[in-house]
């Protein structure tokens, strides 16, 4: 009998303790939620003032005894925002609203720049904010190498320490030598395959795709041209305003490109080119020239074209900017590279933007 009463009292005590603990947890949870809502409102007001686009947001429940909300948001940093002043600006904005900034950290990654913030009150972290800027990726495709091995080659391969895709015309006197030198400098190499343009053109090419050429001849020519440029990872057209508008020769070219496991870039010498759409249809990783940088051989013109091209790009999207192997272009690119905001812009190889 005594044992039964002891068990009963023990159970009753446990129930009372459970009720007490439950009421205490409920009280603490209520206080936490009330304070959390106030902090959440202040953070929300700060975000609205910033006017940065919100990419993702969610509120998670964390904890065992105290299952409390944790706010998480990912926001996009507009491209024109000064990154140097952004961390301090964010710190001041939230601190002035009575929000505790526990931690603020910046990271310059390959594809994006990040500002990570942990916010809350006193020792409690209640919100995590991640501000990201998707870098604009630009691949510089430099055409017309192979005719010389002098100052122009030195300007691009010895004086520039940025990713460049060097496109070499097969059959030119220095095609092999320039390809080997570019490979040694860890640059990317393309075959710059001559193709017949509209109207008259200068001849003298060892391998060129001509109008009316049989399919077997085209394929044989393309294979030989690729073999002439060692370490080639891709191919783009030299001239070709006629050939790139015709499906039959382009299909033959691209079938060899696919078989050789190369990339393809449509240089866009014709507005009605079928080359890119056909490459995609055949499953060839490909891209198109988005901007001719050096139609005029003036340093300021080339720089202006580059920055204008950047303005037209959406963050995270890759693009190809095409230019030519001249000293003026090399000097312009050197000036661009020396002032490049590497937290916003990523110069890459063409192979990194093909799809």
Same domain for 286 and 176: yes
Note the pLDDT of residue 328: 98
Domain boundary residue among 108, 134, 160? 134
What proportion of the chain, given as a percentage, has pLDDT over 70? 90
Residue 62 placed within a domain: yes
Q: Cα(244)–Cα(199) distance, rounded to whole angstroms? A: 14
For 253-280, the pLDDT digits (tens) are 999 999 999 999 999 999 999 999 999 9
Residue 299: domain span: 136-352
Examine the domain organization and report whether 103 and 235 are in the same domain: no
Residues 230 and 96 in one domain: no
Q: 151 vs 67, 148, 171, 191, 326, CA distance in Å?
A: 68, 9, 21, 21, 9
Same domain, 206 and 226: yes
Asked if pLDDT for residue 172 goes beyond 70, the answer is yes
Give the C-alpha distances (Å, rounded to integers) separating 26 from 12, 43, 66, 106: 21, 25, 9, 38
At 346, the pLDDT band (50, 70, 90 cuts) reads very high
128 and 164 in a single domain? The answer is no
pTM for this one? 0.87
Query: Which domain-ending residue is among 101, 134, 167?
Result: 134
Pair (158, 95) in one structural domain: no
The DSSP 8-state label assigned to residue 286 in this structure reads E
Are residues 264 and 199 part of one domain? yes
Residues 218-237 pLDDT 10s: 999 999 999 999 999 999 99
The DSSP string of 154-215 is HHHHTS--S--EEEE-TTSTTHHHHHHHHHHTT-EEEEEEEE--SS------SS-B-TT--H
> Residue 200 is part of a domain; what is its CATH number?
3.20.20.370
Task: Calculate the average pLDDT of the chain.
Answer: 93
- Tens digits of per-residue pLDDT, 74-108? 999 999 999 999 999 999 999 999 999 999 999 99
Q: How far apart are the first and last CA of the chain?
A: 82
Residue, of 10 and 187, whose pLDDT is higher: 187
Q: Please choose, from the candidates 323, 258, 337, the residue with its C-alpha nearest in 3D space to the C-alpha of residue 293.
A: 323
Which letter does DSSP use for residue 296 in this model?
Answer: S
Does 216 fall in a domain?
yes
Task: Say how far apart CA 83 and CA 324 lie, in whole Å.
Answer: 33
- Whether residues 158 and 234 fall in one domain: yes
281 and 188 share one domain: yes
Q: Where are the beta strands (DSSP E) in the chain?
A: 54-62, 68-76, 100-108, 112-121, 124-134, 136-145, 165-168, 188-195, 234-239, 263-266, 286-292, 318-324, 345-348
Query: What is the domain count for the chain?
Result: 2
Partners of 134 in the beta sheet? 112
Confidence of residue 283 (pLDDT cuts 50, 70, 90): very high
- DSSP-based three-state secondary structure for 8: helix
Q: Which of 105, 79, 101, 106 is nearest to 91 (CA)?
A: 101
* Beta-ladder partners of 145: 168
Residue 24 has pLDDT above 50, yes or no: no
CATH code for position 49: 3.30.460
- Whether 129 and 157 share a structural domain: no
Among the residue ranges 1-15, 18-32, 35-49, 336-350, the one predicted with the least confidence is 18-32
- Same domain for 252 and 145: yes
Q: Could you give the percent of the chain with pLDDT greater than 90?
A: 85
Are 183 and 328 in a shared domain?
Answer: yes
Specify if 7 maps to a domain: no
Distance CA 298, CA 206 (A): 31
Q: What angle do CA 126, 127, 128 make, to 5 degrees?
A: 140
Burial of 25-57, coded b for 16+ CB within 10 Å and e otherwise, reads eeeebeebeeebeebbebbeebbeebebeeeee
**β-bridge partners, 119:** 101, 127
């Amino acid at each position: 009998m005594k044992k039964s009463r002891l068990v009963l009292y023990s159970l009753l005590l446990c129930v009372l303790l459970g009720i007490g603990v439950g009421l205490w947890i409920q009280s603490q949870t209520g206080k936490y939620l009330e304070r959390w809502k106030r902090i959440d409102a202040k953070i929300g007001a700060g975000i609205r003032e910033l006017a940065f686009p919100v990419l993702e947001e969610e509120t998670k429940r964390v904890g065992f005894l105290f299952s409390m909300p944790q706010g998480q948001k990912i926001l996009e940093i507009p491209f024109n925002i000064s990154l140097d002043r952004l961390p301090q600006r964010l710190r001041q904005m939230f601190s002035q609203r009575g929000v505790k900034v526990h931690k603020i950290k910046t990271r310059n990654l390959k594809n994006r720049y990040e500002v990570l913030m942990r916010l809350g009150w006193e020792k409690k972290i209640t919100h995590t904010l991640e501000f990201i800027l998707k870098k604009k990726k630009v691949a510089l495709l430099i055409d017309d190498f192979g005719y010389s091995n002098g100052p122009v080659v030195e300007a691009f391969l010895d004086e520039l320490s940025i990713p460049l895709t060097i496109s070499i015309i097969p059959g030119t006197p220095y095609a092999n030598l320039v390809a080997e030198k570019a490979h040694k400098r860890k640059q990317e190499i393309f075959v710059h395959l001559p193709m017949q343009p509209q109207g008259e053109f200068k001849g003298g090419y060892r391998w060129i795709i001509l109008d009316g050429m049989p399919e077997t001849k085209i394929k044989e020519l393309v294979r030989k041209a690729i073999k002439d440029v060692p370490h080639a990872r891709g191919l783009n057209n030299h001239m070709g305003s006629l050939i790139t508008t015709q499906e039959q020769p382009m299909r033959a070219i691209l079938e060899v490109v696919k078989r050789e496991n190369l990339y393809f870039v449509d240089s866009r010498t014709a507005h009605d080119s079928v080359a890119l759409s056909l490459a995609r249809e055949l499953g060839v990783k490909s891209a198109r020239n988005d901007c001719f940088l050096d139609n005029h051989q003036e340093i300021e013109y080339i720089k202006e074209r580059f920055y204008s091209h950047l303005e037209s790009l959406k963050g995270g999207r890759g693009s190809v900017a095409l230019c030519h192997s001249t000293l003026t272009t090399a000097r312009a690119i050197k000036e661009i590279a020396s002032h490049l905001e590497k937290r916003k812009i990523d110069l890459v190889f063409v192979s990194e933007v093909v799809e």
